[in-house]
Structure 1
Amino acid sequence: MSNTARLSAIASALLAMSFPADAASLNTMNEVGAALQACWTPPANSENSTVTLSFSFKRDGTLIGPPKPTGIKVGGNDKARQAYVDAATAALRNCLPLSFSPTLAQGIPGKVFTLQFNSPKSNAKAVKQ
């Protein structure tokens, strides 16, 4: 059997397997916050810093437009502040798309949410507005 035929057989077998549609689906905004928090790593030397991003989701777990910083409390110069905002934006972007349960996906589109990124990492929390 050629490599192409083997890969085709493996792909067919994987497609035939049944996977629960919502096995890893997020059911609540607390779960969404925890999932996003798991992606957050604050920049080095950013103690007592906070940035809050505001954003909206589509039903498919992606964002409607880019996140917007709505609150920035970062010591240092403009470069340090921008690095912190960039790290928070990257953490959010790297976690997407999220997998929402059908119930959560139905009510989430277009609503504005905020996520506060704090140093140290264990202080990050999600807040619905």
Structure 2
Amino acid sequence: MKRAAGLSAIAGALLAGATCQSNAATLNTMGDVGAAIQACWSPPADAGNSTVTLSFSFKRDGTLIGPPRPRAIKVAGDAKARQAFVDAATAALQNCLPLSFSPALAQGIAGNVFTLQFASPKQ
């Protein structure tokens, strides 16, 4: 239940165009986490209307448990364009790390699997 609420918070923050926080700021909610990651996202040029969803898990220290995994991939173009888009989304996530979680968020975040959609054009 908490995971679903966290995922909804990320989606809500991204769709609402929430003010993005720096990865140096202390993040208190999953909405803050989604906004911080989105601030690092720069889609490749000429990506059309492409999306990729990454799944990943955090450690309490704000780093990832293993590499993010691409899931639903919808990219215009050939295999090279697809790989470039997935690589850009993965780099955006990696470049934001480590995130700084509040003690309360860090306590509940560790080991849960989260998903985040990266879309182009940046919205």
Q: Indicate the TM-score class for this superposition, using the shorter chain for normalisation.
A: 0.7 to 0.9
Structure 1 runs of 4+ aligned residues shifted over 2 Å read none
State the Cα distance separating 1:75 from its structure 2 match.
Answer: 0.9
TM-score normalised to structure 2 length: 0.80
Letter paired with 2:85: Y
TM-score normalised to structure 1 length: 0.76
State the Cα distance separating 1:24 from its structure 2 match.
Answer: 2.2
State the Cα distance separating 1:121 from its structure 2 match.
Answer: 1.1
Give me the whole-angstrom Cα distance separating, in 2, the residues matched to 1:95 and 1:71. 22
Letter paired with 1:72: I
Letter paired with 2:35: A
Give me the whole-angstrom Cα distance separating, in 1, the residues matched to 2:29 and 2:83. 31
Structure with max Cα Rg = 1
Partner of 2:74 in structure 1?
Answer: 73
Runs of 5+ consecutive residues of structure 1 not aligned to the other structure? 1-22, 123-129
Percent identity, aligned pairs only, is 79
State the Cα distance separating 1:47 from its structure 2 match.
Answer: 1.6
Alignment map for 1:1-129 (pairs within 5 Å): 24-122=25-123
Give me the whole-angstrom Cα distance separating, in 2, the residues matched to 1:104 and 1:63. 15
Give me the whole-angstrom Cα distance separating, in 2, the residues matched to 1:69 and 1:30. 21
Letter paired with 2:46: N
Letter paired with 2:95: N
Count of residue pairs the alignment pairs up: 100
Letter paired with 2:61: D
Give me the whole-angstrom Cα distance separating, in 1, the residues matched to 2:35 and 2:113. 17
